[in-house]
Amino acid sequence: MLLAACGKKRNVARAPASLPSSAPLLRTETGVASWYGHPYHGRPAADGEIYDMEKMTAAHRTLPFNTWVRVTNLDNGRTVDVRIIDRGPFVDGRVIDVSHAAAREIGLIGPGLANVRIDVISAPEAALTAAVFYAVQAGVFTDRARAERLTADLDARYGAARMVLRPGDPPAWRVLVGRESSLDTASDLLAKLSLELGDCFIVRLDDPSLAAAAPAPDPSAY
């Protein structure tokens, strides 16, 4: 069953690897946090990149884009590190709007709102030094066999197609295509796949949630 290919937002997104507790804290703010996923998932965020609710990102009204913050849920003590890519929330009393993945990390999805502390932190070293590559998400399936068939087909025609497991109940398989070194070339690939498959969107391959990729299936098996 095809769940989604691209484009919504109103749930928690996953943040990159957390920094050590000793990371320098540069600024602190307290208030109420919320989260967003659909219908913003797959749409451009305020900084121009495509919002993926399964990445560790967030929206803030004033912090510069690419600022890293550690969000602490004051109700349960859980923390998550996120990168600011968007503007909001535009509701009085709320100070940050985190992705679906980030919300899941701090137990925010059920309640929807939580009292939090935001600490501005230094960017992870990997985020400063690693080269950034992009892919296009062509679809999400709960049926692994369907995901494997699409991956094999796209790998044969576009190259570098792979599957990534998205844990859940039920689990789902994300099909990613390409390994582009710039947003321009990723956008060209996006245009081609969108004409063929419908809604698709660009993802950054340095997102930790994409680390557990399965090898592309053998096209000869299909």
Give CA–CA dist 138/115, Å, rounded: 36
The CATH number given to 131-221 is: 3.30.70.1070
Asked if 164 and 214 touch (Cβ cutoff 8 Å), the reply is yes
CB atoms within 10 A of CB 16: 22
Q: How confident is the model at residue 146 (pLDDT cuts 50, 70, 90)?
A: very high
Give me 87's structure tokens.
Answer: 């503007």
Give CA–CA dist 222/160, Å, rounded: 17
Name the residue with higher pLDDT: 159 or 94.
94
Give CA–CA dist 166/137, Å, rounded: 13
Predicted pLDDT at 133: 84
3-state SS assignment for residue 144: helix
Give CA–CA dist 142/111, Å, rounded: 26
Answer yes or no: is pLDDT of 211 > 80: no
Give CA–CA dist 166/38, Å, rounded: 17
Predicted pLDDT at 217: 45
Per-residue pLDDT tens digits for 103-136: 999 999 999 999 999 999 988 766 665 567 889 9
Per-residue pLDDT tens digits for 150-206: 999 999 998 789 999 888 888 899 999 998 888 888 889 999 999 999 889 888 887
Give me 184's structure tokens.
Answer: 């321009």
Q: What are phi and psi of 176, to 5 degrees?
A: -115, 140
Per-residue pLDDT tens digits for 72-85: 999 999 999 999 99
CB atoms within 10 A of CB 86: 22
Per-residue pLDDT tens digits for 9-63: 333 333 333 333 334 445 899 999 999 998 898 888 988 788 989 889 999 999 9
The CATH number given to 7-124 is: 2.40.40.10
Give me 186's structure tokens.
Answer: 């990723």
- Give the bridge partners for 139, in sequence order: 175
- The domain segmentation of the chain, as residue ranges, is 7-124, 131-221
Asked if 86 and 42 touch (Cβ cutoff 8 Å), the reply is no
- The structure's pTM equals 0.53
Predicted pLDDT at 138: 93
